[in-house]
Amino acid sequence: MTFDYDLFVIGGGSGGVRAARIASGEYGAKVGLAEESRMGGTCVIRGCVPKKLMVFASAYPEAIAEAREYGWDVTAGGFDWTHFRTRLETELDRLEGAYRNTLKSAGVIIHDERAVIVDAHRVRLASGAEFTTKHILVATGGWPFVPDFPGRELAITSNEMFHLPVLPKRALVVGGGYIASEFACILKGLGVEVSQYYRGAQILRGFDDEARGHVANAMRQSGVDLHCGTDVMRLEKTAPGIRAVATDGTEREFDMVLYATGRRPNTAGLGLEALGLTLGRNGEIPVDKFSQTAVPSVFAVGDVTGRVNLTPVAIREGHAFADTVFGAKPTAFDHTLVASAIFTQPEMGSVGLSEEAAKEQEPIEVYSTAFRPMRTLFAGKQDRVLMKLIVSQSSRKVLGCHIVAPEAGEMIQLAAIAIGMGATKEDFDRTCAVHPTMAEELVTMRKPVRTA
């Protein structure tokens, strides 16, 4: 049978774009890609990239305060949100254009409209046009989830955060994951009075308990009004703003309420169920290690699969898919050791097992230290950083590394290389320290603080 395309990709985010580019540009496949929104997906348009730029913007007040302690005669003026937002939107336009040019240079045919699956080898565009294709790749990512409760229409999500007409004076962030915690820190740094409600006992569930506790304490010290064990019962529109009625009995007024209570795979209405696919509890697409679904011609990568929801993972999955299907090089991405960074202030970087997960697996040693870093100590600040290693008692391999510190994301990237290679605690010990740095503590901890 002759097909219109060798591959049709639904979704123009990081995973879909990488798969399309490699399949077409490196392996010569005829590839079509449909994107109903903006090219670049969540990461580029409404996620990692604009968020990190907001992180940078929010850090300047503390940097200016530190500069004064170092002898600089500097004073911070007011933050011009309109100026920043305009520059941000210009940068996102540039990045979207770069993604488009990359696809076009690779020979990918772009369709700027929604596509759905008709059957195992056919897709239909919103315009009504239909194409046959040998393979279909679903890479539609995720979408913010807001639970159903009275007044939910008054809340915004992370999608809208980068396009606010004005910054609020008082903001409530609901949620305890990395997105909620990052935005609480960002808003606080930009001069907003911030409260954060989370129904769980501690924010950043799933990460190392000691590390996430360290982040929570630092956020409170910076002025974030963090309430764990608290949820919103209802939101009400008032003349001054939005009243949040909470489960702890409080009623407070805010100018903006941001819900960051998780994301769900963006699979609704794609036609997957009609293919006979059974989706997961949250709508995720079950796939095997090669990203193939139960329908042999249909594959899925990225957040839509609910595996590890990180942009670099989606990129690696997309590349592995193209290598497997079009490059005759069966490749399965290993999800077991993926480093991550949370851009709170301070940042948290993690790779490998938490202390809690590791001790359930085998006997371990825990090496941990918290100290005041040189730069801010000199400036008279009381903040502390955390360095932590989880070590197997039997193999001596480092099973996990957790860092809470400025630039923790930069440090954990390098630690991930060593841990991925199977480095032991003795390998770390043999490494000469780079002094004076924060990261030198990773190679100078000689005695465990506890065993489990």
Residue 70 lies in a domain: yes
Query: Which residue reads 């540039």 in tokens?
Result: 94
Secondary structure element (H or E) that encloses residue 351, with its range: strand 347-352
DSSP 295-349: STTEEE-GGGGTS---HHHHHHHHHHHHHHHHSS-------SS--EEE-SSSEEE
Distances (CA, A) of 375 to 33, 56, 214, 388: 48, 18, 19, 20
Which of 261, 283, 316 corresponds to the end of one domain? 261
137 with 216, same domain?
Answer: no
Q: Which of 197, 153, 149 is nearest to 172 (CA)?
A: 197
Check residue 383 and give its pLDDT.
Answer: 94
Q: What is the DSSP letter of 449?
A: S
Residue 337 lies in a domain: no
163 flagged as catalytic: no
- Whole-prediction pTM value? 0.96
285, with CB counted inside 10 A (0-12, 13-18, 19+), is buried
CATH number at residue 183: 3.50.50.60
> First CA to last CA across the chain, in angstroms?
61
Residue 350 lies in a domain: yes
68 with 84, same domain?
Answer: yes
User: Rounded to whole angstroms, how far apart are CA atoms 364 and 396?
Assistant: 9
Check residue 119 and give its pLDDT.
Answer: 97
Which of 261, 281, 316 corresponds to the end of one domain? 261
Phi, psi of 239, deg, nearest 5:
-60, -45
Structure tokens at 166: 């004005």
Structure tokens at 64: 């200016």
139 with 91, same domain?
Answer: yes
Residue 336 lies in a domain: no
Structure tokens at 206: 């799933």
96 with 42, same domain?
Answer: yes
**Residue 195 is part of which domain span?**
152-261
User: For the stretch 138-152, what's the b/e string if a residue is b when 16 or more beta carbons lie within 10 angstroms of its beta carbon?
Assistant: bbbbbbbebeeeebe
Phi, psi of 122, deg, nearest 5:
-145, 135
Residue 331 lies in a domain: no
Structure tokens at 154: 């008054």
Residue 362 lies in a domain: yes
User: Rounded to whole angstroms, how far apart are CA atoms 158 and 145?
Assistant: 10
330, with CB counted inside 10 A (0-12, 13-18, 19+), is exposed
Beta strands 263-265 and 142-144 are: antiparallel
How long a stretch of residues is the chain? 452
Q: Which of 111, 163, 227, 435 is catalytic?
A: 435
Which of 243, 261, 279 corresponds to the end of one domain? 261
Residue 111 lies in a domain: yes
314 with 429, same domain?
Answer: no
254 with 273, same domain?
Answer: no
How many structural domains are present in the chain? Answer: 3
Catalogue the E-assigned strands of 218-301. Answer: 225-228, 232-237, 242-246, 251-254, 256-259, 263-265, 298-300
Q: Which of 401, 345, 298, 358 is nearest to 61 (CA)?
A: 345
67 with 212, same domain?
Answer: no
Q: Mean pLDDT of successive 10-residue segments in the chain (452 residues)? A: 96 98 98 97 95 97 96 94 97 97 98 98 98 98 96 97 96 98 98 98 98 98 98 96 97 98 96 95 97 98 97 98 98 96 97 98 98 96 97 98 98 98 98 98 98 96
| Number of neighbours of residue 20 by Cβ within 10 angstroms | 30
Reply yes or no: is the peptide bond before residue 373 cis, omega within 30 of 0. no
84 with 172, same domain?
Answer: no
Coil, strand or helix at 61: helix
167 with 305, same domain?
Answer: no
Residue 53 lies in a domain: yes
Check residue 1 and give its pLDDT.
Answer: 81
170 with 274, same domain?
Answer: no
Secondary structure element (H or E) that encloses residue 31, with its range: strand 31-34
377 with 245, same domain?
Answer: no
Q: Which of 183, 143, 420 is nearest to 282 (CA)?
A: 143
135 with 168, same domain?
Answer: no
User: Rounded to whole angstroms, how far apart are CA atoms 345 and 105?
Assistant: 39
